[in-house]
Amino acid sequence: MQYILLIYGDERQWAKLSPAEMDKMYAAFMQYSKALADAGVMRAGSELKPTSSATTVRSRNGKVTTVDGPFAETKEQLGGFYIIETPNLEKALEWAAKCPGAQMGSLEVRPLPPPHS
């Protein structure tokens, strides 16, 4: 089964990190990505630029509204994701717990349904 690991964190905490702490974080993420790849479970993944760079689009009855910012103001913001493939939820949770993002923030683990036939 495929699972998406949604990495939520407080952007303001992230912004407060010193350059050295930031480097350590990135190194940890790179190591984690490598571990996922070596284990053959990695399918996709990326950091996201902060919510200050986001734009939200809605289309209702043919009318399109475009606004600055994320879809909603939240205490923790989506900062990145991984898509992994594991035999079951337990394995996905095991990987999620090891993600550096789980230490400072929250990882939401959501299964992907099979392709709609």
Partner 1 sequence: MLDHLIDQVFRRENGRVLATLIRATRDFELAEDALQEACARAASTWPRDGLPQRPGAWLTTVARRCAVDLVRRRQASPSWTSEPSAEEVPGAETEEDPALISGVEDDRLRLLFTCCHPALAQPAQVALALRTLCGLATREIARAFVEPEATTAQRLVRAKRKIRDAGIPYEVPRPDVFPERLEAVEAVVYLVFNEGYASTDAQGLVRPDLSAEAIRLGRLLVELLPDEVEAQGLLALMLLHDARREARLGPDGALISLEEQDRALWDAALIREGTSLLDAAVAARRPGPYQVQAAIAALHAGARRAEETDWVQISALYSALLRYLPTPVVELNAAAALAMAQGPEEGLRWMDCLSSRAELQGYHLLPAARADLLRRAGRKEEARLAYAAALALVRNPAERRYLERRLLALDAAEARGQSEVLPPETPGTSPG
Positions touching partner 1 (CB under 8 A) are 1, 3, 87-90, 92-94, 111, 113
Kindly state the smallest distance separating residue 70's Cβ from partner 1, in Å.
26
Q: Which two tokens stand for residue 100?
A: 């550096």
Kindly state the smallest distance separating residue 83's Cβ from partner 1, in Å.
14
CB closer to partner 1, 73 vs 90: 90
CB closer to partner 1, 54 vs 93: 93
3-state secondary structure at position 52: helix
CB closer to partner 1, 17 vs 89: 89
Q: Which two tokens stand for residue 53?
A: 């760079």
Which amino acid, residue 19? P
CB closer to partner 1, 25 vs 98: 98
Report how far residue 35's alpha carbon sits from residue 42's, in angstroms, rounded to the nearest whole number: 9
Kindly state the smallest distance separating residue 99's Cβ from partner 1, in Å.
16
Kindly state the smallest distance separating residue 15's Cβ from partner 1, in Å.
32
Whether 73 contacts 12, CB under 8 Å:
no
H or E element that contains 33: helix 19-38
Provide the pairing of β-strand 42-47 with 55-60: unpaired
